[in-house]
Amino acid sequence: MKVAIPQEVKNNEFRVAITPAGVHDLVAHGHTVTVQTGAGMGSSIPDSEYVAAGATISPDAASTWAAADLLLKVKEPIEQEFPFLRPDLVLFTYLHLAAEPDLTQALIANRVTAIAYETVQLITRALPLLAPMSEVAGRLAPIVGANAMLKPNGGPGLLVPGVPGTYPAKVVVIGGGVAGANAVAVSVGLGADVTVLDTNLQRLAELDSLYAGRVHTIASNGFEIERALLTADLVIGSVLIPGAKAPKLVSNDLVARMKRGSVLVDIAVDQGGCFADSHPTTHEDPTFTVHGSLFYCVANMPGAVPNTSTYALTNATMPYVRAIANLGWKQAMTADAALARGLNTHAGHVTNPAVANAHHLTLTPIGTVLD
């Protein structure tokens, strides 16, 4: 199979969809790999390393997309890439289509077979291709939040751990999944006073046991979210419904009653965000103010640490990429139900229930596509 990897073009997106080790793996299995020149530079991977692993370097995006039977990306195609979409293309990347109506329509109109990293789901409900980036975003969230709290950055001038004789920052994490648990870990490490809310009592018990009572674990509901946020200095939203828009758990009215200068980091913004006032921002201009609180809503947070993120992502995606390349997407999905759940569009049809529901489109069951 012809596998191609373009350079990412989203604002300050420095990740790349494959490492030289991934190229070597595919070439060893008899596939050809084309990498756009400079695609790995943001992750400190020069073209020469891809060539040494067996890849061909292409001069531009158009030739890279044209060379692909299977195109691997990190982030969803943006408008300038829509002309490269075509019916015989298999696209494998993060898509987040529930929050992307224009991209959804472009994939449908161009009859692309689009497989989303974030909806590949094991029978345990775990999301193996979302997990590594959730880990990165979760660990970044307290760090960028702590940075936003510095006075020169518009924050209240609060040091997260404090110093002897002063109070540490109160950090509230909404959601105790992969991203939330990693946010809790770093927040505790920074010396914050940490509260985590989740609807899953078993998950709260696990976190309580892990931190031996150093973290406040609260069953999540509207009353408790409000109670926690009114005294919070930093709020990290990490709520996820696979493939669907994130639920809005923090209202504009609640933000208006929070501490002036409090910081809210929305990890779920690429799924629409879990704060009512969230809208995607960029690494160039990451924050905006609502009622005196500072919102950080960068939709590609892991792009700030591309070297770590690229290797972590490729470690997770390569077994699935290898299966698609070796077997073809349809046979690979027939053999692996987890991968089949990743199919979002095919031949002009939407095959993911959450995406169809978000955009009021007709759902074509995956089973009918694979028959």
CA 253 to chain centre: 28
Q: Angle between the 178-189 and 201-211 helix axes, to the nearest 10 degrees?
A: 30
Residue type, 316: A
> Pick the catalytic residue: 25, 198, 233, 270?
270
- Does the annotation mark 233 as catalytic? no
Kindly give the pairing relationship between strand 287-290 and strand 293-296.
antiparallel
CA distance 243 to 265: 20
- Does the annotation mark 371 as catalytic? no
- Picking from 97, 136, 35, the residue whose alpha carbon sits closest to that of residue 354 is 97
> Pick the catalytic residue: 96, 266, 277, 346?
96
By annotation, the residues acting in catalysis are 96, 270
